[in-house]
Structure 1
Amino acid sequence: MNYSSLLLDKIQSQASSKEISWVEMKDKGSLQSLQTAFVTVPRFISKDKIQFTSPINEVSFDNWTLDRLVRVYLLTKFDSSDKSSYTKAIDTLFDTAENNEAVALISALPFLAYPDYWILRATNAVRSNIGPVFDAIAFENPFARNHFSDLAWNQLVLKCIFNDKPINKIEGLAERANQELATSISNLAHERWSAGRTIPSQAWRLVSQFMNDEIFKDIQHLLSFGNESDRMAAALVCTETDFPEAKKALVSNEDLQLKIANKVFNWQKIEN
């Protein structure tokens, strides 16, 4: 599906008449002229924050700026009929990108043709030490959910947990939970506890459907020794899992069971 017209509608609802004229003048150019326009966007388009929140192709535009949106739109205007020329033109932009350009390129992945071709670019963004580049692939972007292997997916989620980033902003967090990830979260928690530290409480939401004897010991630890947020997380896990011993543990913590019944807390409140 071509999302260009939808993105252009969003631009026109926010941009000035002068900015719109510039975009409409540039969006019909050759691959080379579109490459140049992509790079020069900040000279002609403001960095005003986008004022709408309705998603396109499951991409949220929260915290986007207008120049980022215009760059993504220009990428959707590249002629994709010849895969070699198309991918070469965008690869050139990736290879020469400064940080803001890299963020726009990663943000554009759900809109680009030949999605399998861009998986390496996306996984490289996961490994990036540049915060905004990592955030562009990790948060409110469906590309990782739709195209990452379990290994790449787990690396993304674990990096968020390791750096105390808001995993609730990851698209597909619940549907792509898996046993290996749950075990890795348990292992990371043990490392942190040994160093007198903790992992973010919301990370435990990813173990509920993969409970076993070892992970249940972690939940017991949280119930007995965790801070308030950890105890709430452990109680929610006990509510969600089918593991019999976890159900018994929740009954033994009447205060938490009552708070859950009265909807005093949930995962969203822990995340906030």
Structure 2
Amino acid sequence: MSFVELFDDWFATRLSEEAREWISARQERIAGGNLKELYLGFGQVSRKIPKLELGLSTAELDAAERLRPGWQPGHWSLPDTVRMRLLLGYRAESSEKFVEVLDRLFATGEVHELIALYQGLPLYPDQPMHVARAGEGIRTNMGAVFQAVAHRNPYPCEQLPEGMWNQMILKCLFVGISLIPVVGLESRNNPALTGMLRDYAHERWAARREVSPELWRCVKPEHQAEALEDLARVLREGTEVEQRAAALSLSSSRHGEAAKLIEQYPGLRAEIDAGRLTWSEPGRN
């Protein structure tokens, strides 16, 4: 099954006959290479398609995962999905032509169109060709657009070089966006990120500003032994939520001293061992 076929299955129970006919008419011309229909149709989606969530069932999410491992369209809207249906129905004669078409859509897109385009990154052909475009999404000052790249999107984890990945994680913390929905956070952890985040935490401390508890998820003593001192400080002086985050970080560390440090806090150790303390809600029982 293709992405286009899967989208059509979803639309069959979610869109009116009139809306499906509108998509079908546009798609026939787009598949024939009529780019004008693609550009016009992309802009008309907001007027033709109801502004509702896609609302996929568990079975539909499983089908999406089978088709494209790591893909998480559970938060997509109907307009987002229709835009992807139109775009992926275009049969570009080369990877370069597809990128050229994408560039035009990105250049003229309004916020909701940009969100759809960035959410679609894991579905595009020739995945490595879109790294620069993902970088543009990371640098944007539009929060919702940035989140379309950073959250529930497997593309950054799979394709971004280390430096770009690290900048994305730091930006999440800087602008106050949660790391919980970032795909591949543990697998992409690296020594440079530990150092970068430690420096950031020290700057915040020096300015007497709060440090996001989620920062400690990416700070690993096995990457920099000095991180143990930072985590020990958080356990001594931090808020309850910060202490829990530090304990979680230590519990997953491979550094030999990490286990010894967390054993000094048996209450936190017991919560972690019992599964009551996780990164999903480090501030709650």
TM-score (norm 1): 0.93
Distance 1:195 1:176, change over 3 A: same
Provide the alpha-carbon RMSD of the alignment: 1.9
Deviation at residue 190 of structure 1 after TM alignment? 0.6
Stretch moving more, 78-87 or 137-146: 78-87
Could you say which residue in structure 2 is the equivalent of 1:39?
Answer: 43
1:142 aligns with 2:158: no
Deviation at residue 47 of structure 1 after TM alignment? 0.7
Task: Assess if the C-alpha contact under 8 Å between 1:60 and 1:141 holds in 2.
Answer: yes
Gaps of 5+ in 1: none
Within 2, Cα distance between the matches of 1:198 and 1:180? Answer: 22
Could you say which residue in structure 1 is the equivalent of 2:92?
Answer: 80
Within 2, Cα distance between the matches of 1:258 and 1:145? Answer: 32
Within 2, Cα distance between the matches of 1:169 and 1:160? Answer: 11
1:236 aligns with 2:248: yes
How many equivalent residue pairs?
Answer: 272
Stretch moving more, 245-254 or 255-264: 255-264
Task: Assess if the C-alpha contact under 8 Å between 2:244 and 2:283 holds in 1.
Answer: no
1:70 aligns with 2:82: yes
CA offset digits 1:122-143 (Å, max 9, x no partner) = 1011000011110111111111
CA offset digits 1:157-184 (Å, max 9, x no partner) = 1111112211111111111111111111
Distance 1:217 1:93, change over 3 A: same
Within 1, Cα distance between the matches of 2:116 and 2:275? Answer: 40
Within 1, Cα distance between the matches of 2:211 and 2:176? Answer: 8
Could you say which residue in structure 2 is the equivalent of 1:175?
Answer: 187
Gaps of 5+ in 2: none
Within 2, Cα distance between the matches of 1:143 and 1:242? Answer: 27
Task: Assess if the C-alpha contact under 8 Å between 1:72 and 1:107 holds in 2.
Answer: no
Deviation at residue 196 of structure 1 after TM alignment? 1.4
Task: From 49, 52, 55, give the equivalent of 1:48.
Answer: 52
TM-score (norm 2): 0.89
Task: Assess if the C-alpha contact under 8 Å between 2:240 and 2:283 holds in 1.
Answer: no
